Amino acid sequence: MAKFKNTDRLHAIFETMSEGLLVVGRDGRIREVNPALERLTGYTADELVGKPCSVLNCDVCERSRREGRAHWCKLFDERAEHRRRCHVIRKDGSAVPVLKNASLLMADGEPVASVETLTDLSELVERERTIRELSRRLENGHGFHGLLGDSPPMRRVFRLLERAADSDAPVLILGESGTGKELAAKAIHDLGPRSAGPFIQLNCAALNESLLESELFGHVRGAFTGAVRHRTGRFEAAHHGDIFLDEIGDVPLGLQVKLLRVLETKTLERVGDHRPVHVDVRIISATNQDLARLVREGRFREDLLFRINVIPIHLPPLRERSEDVALLCDHFLAALREKSGKDVAGFTPEALALLRAHDWPGNVRELRSALEYAFVLVDSGRIHPEHLPPSIGASACPPLPASPPAPAQPPSPIPSPAPFGGRETRAETERRELVAALRRAGGNQSEAARLLGVHRGTVINRMRKYGIDLRTLVVEGEG
């Protein structure tokens, strides 16, 4: 600070500012801080002065230092004021959202130091989160930017998406096909600081290696046969925004190296060109594969996994949140009713029980298709089991065998007469035979499945559907 005039006046200003302020020298070390910065970070001036500015772990500064050329920070190269929202890490390890303004102090035309002010945005971020939550509740009491659910797993996902949106770190969305990974990625973009920028998507499994490289990084005219004009890649198109790479586990190993370089250096080279192109992009990836297993098999780079898996978010399959099935059914039914004009009131209890008991290997996408199928068959009134697809409705459960497949085994439970001499419904027969098989098997679900000639999963689904509890079944008897 010896080169600056009116040092005492500057110190007086520093002391009274409500914003945190630090002065960083050309060597990247902190020269001075004010009391507001001490309060903001939890560090004392003695703990900060003389230390590298990286001690605050600012995510924006980390990129600026990495992209610096002749100097430790690109601020000194570009000589332009920087104004960004970011996070710094306090002494106690907690993250604080701040608005950071950084500009250079010049002397004789050369940068002497940088001056940075940090405004605490904690209250503003909390207010924004509260407003978003209230807006979500007003818009749809059980939804979140197109994702529907009110079960505990989905509420956890909604909270994670909000936190991920506040950060600029890479996000990896994990989940089976049909769980809503694309909707989750769009929610992160819409809620994040890059929402004013583009949101660019690419399914990495849809293209071969050469086409995928061109789509990601672009190409110049004449780069290969058929390249008659310059093409902008998806990364360039996503500049100042977010890029969503779906099915990232299908990226070929050769391209994984180039992708890692883009993520680490924020630069790319178009196919057929060697000039680096700077891109400012946050990456959101998604996959339904086990990337750790792919790493062990040598099909996915471990260093790339570490780079994209900074914030992992797992979307639960529909079978793990069966309490959301009725909510999803009502939502899709309302949309179909509005589109077609059909007077379909809802579902019979039997149809809804079948929908809740189904495993849904295709998740929400399969459920929507099943309801579209039922909507075609029903004319009006309510949807019955016979309106559901064969894999879900009444025909999904064929008549149970009256005797076991193997003669050496004890005979299967013999159906008892229908109560009061009336005709027994299929559901009543199915439940009674299931109870008898479970009793005979002593509560062993695998043995009961063998006796009935069905899979163990079918036994579990039917137990859930009919509310059969093994504890009361074996001890008290049920039927």
pLDDT value of residue 65: 55
How does residue 367 score in pLDDT terms, banded at 50, 70 and 90? Answer: very high
Model confidence at 399, pLDDT cuts 50, 70, 90, reads very low
* Residues 6 or more apart whose Cβ sits within 8 Å of residue 84: 60, 99, 100
**Cβ-contact 181, 246 below 8 angstroms:** yes
Residue 432's CB is within 10 A of a number of other CB atoms, namely: 19
pLDDT at position 227: 64
CA angle, 89 then 92 then 98, to 5°: 30
477: left (phi over 0), alpha (psi -120 to 50) or beta: left
Identify the DSSP state of 22.
Answer: E
pLDDT of amino acid 222:
66
Domain covering 7-120, topology: Beta-Lactamase (3.30.450)
Q: What percent of the chain shows pLDDT beyond 90?
A: 34
Edge-to-edge strand ranges of the sheet holding 171-174: 199-203, 241-246, 281-287, 171-174, 311-314
pLDDT surpassing 90 at residue 219:
no
- The third-level CATH classification (topology) of the domain covering 126-314 is Rossmann fold (3.40.50)
| pLDDT score of 405 | 43
Question: Is residue 243 predicted with pLDDT exceeding 50?
Answer: yes
Please check whether the domain covering 321-396 is classified as CATH 1.10.8.60: yes
| pLDDT of residue 396 exceeding 50 | no
Within the chain, all domains assigned CATH 3.30.450.20 are found at 7-120
pLDDT tier for residue 393 given thresholds of 50, 70 and 90 = low
CATH architecture of the domain with range 398-479: Orthogonal Bundle (1.10)
Portions of the chain given CATH number 1.10.8.60: 321-396
pLDDT digits (tens, 9 = 90+) for 100-147: 888 888 877 777 788 889 999 888 777 766 665 555 544 444 568 888
In DSSP terms, 199 is beta-bridged to: 242
State how far the Cα of 71 lies from the Cα of 79, in Å rounded to an integer. 11
Measured in degrees and rounded to the nearest 5, phi and psi for residue 17 equal -70, 140
Q: What is the pLDDT of residue 102?
A: 82
Pick from 18-22, 227-231, 239-243, 336-340 the range whose average pLDDT is largest.
239-243
Determine the 3-state secondary structure of 89 from DSSP. Answer: strand
- Return the H-helix or E-strand segment holding 36: helix 35-41
Alpha-carbon span 185 to 233, nearest angstrom: 20
At 33-82, the pLDDT tens digits run: 999 999 999 999 999 999 988 888 876 666 555 555 445 566 666 666 66
Residues of the chain with CATH 3.40.50.300: 126-314
Cα separation of 29 and 26, whole Å? 8
Count of all residues that appear for the chain in the document: 479
Q: Is the pTM of this model over 0.75?
A: no
The pLDDT of residue 289 is above 90 = yes
With H, G, I as helix, E, B as strand and everything else as coil, classify residue 87. Answer: strand
> Rounded mean pLDDT of 197-217?
90
286 close to 161: Cβ distance less than 8 angstroms: no
Give first-to-last CA distance, the chain, whole Å.
88
Please state, in angstroms and rounded to a whole number, the distance separating the CA atoms of residues 345 and 330. Answer: 10
Q: 330 is written with which tokens?
A: 């009502």
Q: pLDDT-based confidence at 93, cuts 50/70/90?
A: confident
Question: Which residues, 6+ apart, have CB-to-CB distance to 452 below 8 Å?
Answer: 400, 401, 412, 433, 434, 437, 458, 459
> Which pLDDT does position 300 carry in this prediction?
95
Q: Phi and psi dihedrals of 267, rounded to 5?
A: -135, 155
DSSP class of residue 361? T
Given pLDDT bands bounded at 50, 70 and 90, which one contains residue 402? very low
pLDDT at 269: 86
392/363 Cα distance (integer angstroms):
13
Q: How far apart are CA 465 and CA 325, in angstroms?
A: 13
Cα gap 275→66, rounded to integer Å = 19
